[in-house]
Structure 1
Amino acid sequence: MSTDTDTTDPIRIAFMCVQNAGRSQMSTAFAERERRRRGLEQRIEILTGGTDPADAVHDEVVRVMDEVGLDLSERKPREITVEELNSCDYVATMGCSTLDVGDVDDGVDVRDWALTDPDGKELEDVREIRDEIERTVAALFDDIESSA
């Protein structure tokens, strides 16, 4: 008989946009770091994807994330399905989503972060977007912990 009394399902978070090559990838990397820092590896699952994925993460995104010690060079944009989104507790869209919120179940907390697209922007602008994402991800984790 198991002595583990924690039978609670993990909290699932999805970060999505159209290309899954910029904002959602940065959000995912910061969420993975935040999950590790807070010791929530067993409690939080993280998904990412796009509705029309690009071939690769944007070069400027890889560069500015490397500046803060997060390597996105091997990440591959992927498609995310409505079924995956419906399996989540939280879905963060980046302000660019083609997601029809009506497609997602009522029990999913959908948040549109309305972030500027970093694709093709100057590095200083991408750094500002990165820093905003870092703060927003930390605030999401604060919300999750306070409601748990």
Structure 2
Amino acid sequence: MVDIAEHSDALDRAEVRLREEFATMFELETIHRFLHSSYDDFAARASVTLYLPLLAERFGRQRLQALAKVEGKVAKPRPTVLFLCTHNAGRSQMALGFFEELALGRAVAWSGGSVPSGQLNPSAVAVMSEVGVDISREYPKPWTDEIIRAADVIVTMGCGDTCPLVPGVRYMEWIIEDPAGLEVEDVRPIRDDIGRRVTGLLTELGIDVTDPVGTPSSPRNA
């Protein structure tokens, strides 16, 4: 059981930072609620508790950004894509990594899972590193109402009937093998498939990908 008192100082500092960032958009109570509900979610399934305040701050910030878009408080909203799978440990994280690497800030991507895992799939992290994309700092997380409503495109990858349905949102279903439990050599084809699909999606969004992510034999950063 996590004792929130252990993290009270870190959470207080995180709340100060979020207040500075969002004070012109939201009441302080909303900022406090989003931070602490994010903390409670991670604390309920965390095996390692050291980084809980940091994860809560990062997820709280993402949720507040989503709410700002939903409420029309973002002056020039960028296209927003949400990648969903079951555990948010492999497929959706690889898609997020490719998207952020290729979009270069011209569009926003988030990811989530219906039953978030306790950690990323190490094989997924390894194969993404092979092509110069570091997803090791990401973390499995759920989706929330404001994140769903802020998305322009929702890409589902195996979450089945638990995937949310929101009117007016464009849905895409990618049939991609789950890399859970697979060795690195078996995850590479899954990674390459996801990379091609993400590149195609960005093209559909009108975002030109002029410097595609490389392959192990021809890495981007070589």
TM-score relative to the length of structure 2: 0.56
CA distance in 2 between partners of 1:54 and 1:98 (Å): 18
Written as runs of structure 1 = structure 2, the 5 A alignment for 1:82-97 is 82-97=145-160
- 1:64 equivalent to 2:132? Answer no
CA distance in 2 between partners of 1:118 and 1:96 (Å): 14
Q: Which structure has the bigger radius of gyration?
A: 2
* Code of the aligned partner of 1:72: I
CA distance in 2 between partners of 1:95 and 1:115 (Å): 8
CA distance in 1 between partners of 2:91 and 2:136 (Å): 14
Q: Choose which of 173, 179, 182 in structure 2 pairs with 1:121.
A: 182
Aligned to 1:18: 86
Aligned to 1:54: 117
- Tell me how far 1:14 sits from its aligned partner: 0.4
* Code of the aligned partner of 1:99: T
- Tell me how far 1:120 sits from its aligned partner: 1.0
What percent identity do the matched residue pairs reach? 37
- 1:109 equivalent to 2:170? Answer yes
Distance 1:77 1:50, change over 3 A: same
- 1:80 equivalent to 2:143? Answer yes
Aligned to 1:141: 202
Q: CA RMSD in A?
A: 1.6
Higher share of residues assigned helix = 2
CA distance in 1 between partners of 2:161 and 2:129 (Å): 29
CA contact (8 A) 2:90 2:124 kept: yes
Q: Choose which of 84, 87, 98 in structure 2 pairs with 1:30.
A: 98
CA distance in 1 between partners of 2:158 and 2:92 (Å): 10
Aligned to 2:108: 45
CA distance in 2 between partners of 1:96 and 1:133 (Å): 16
Structure with larger RCO (C-alpha < 8 A, sep 6+): 1
CA contact (8 A) 1:86 1:104 kept: no
Higher share of residues assigned strand = 1
Unpaired segments ≥5 residues, structure 1: 1-6
CA distance in 2 between partners of 1:58 and 1:141 (Å): 25
Aligned to 1:3: none
CA distance in 2 between partners of 1:9 and 1:73 (Å): 27
CA contact (8 A) 1:96 1:114 kept: no
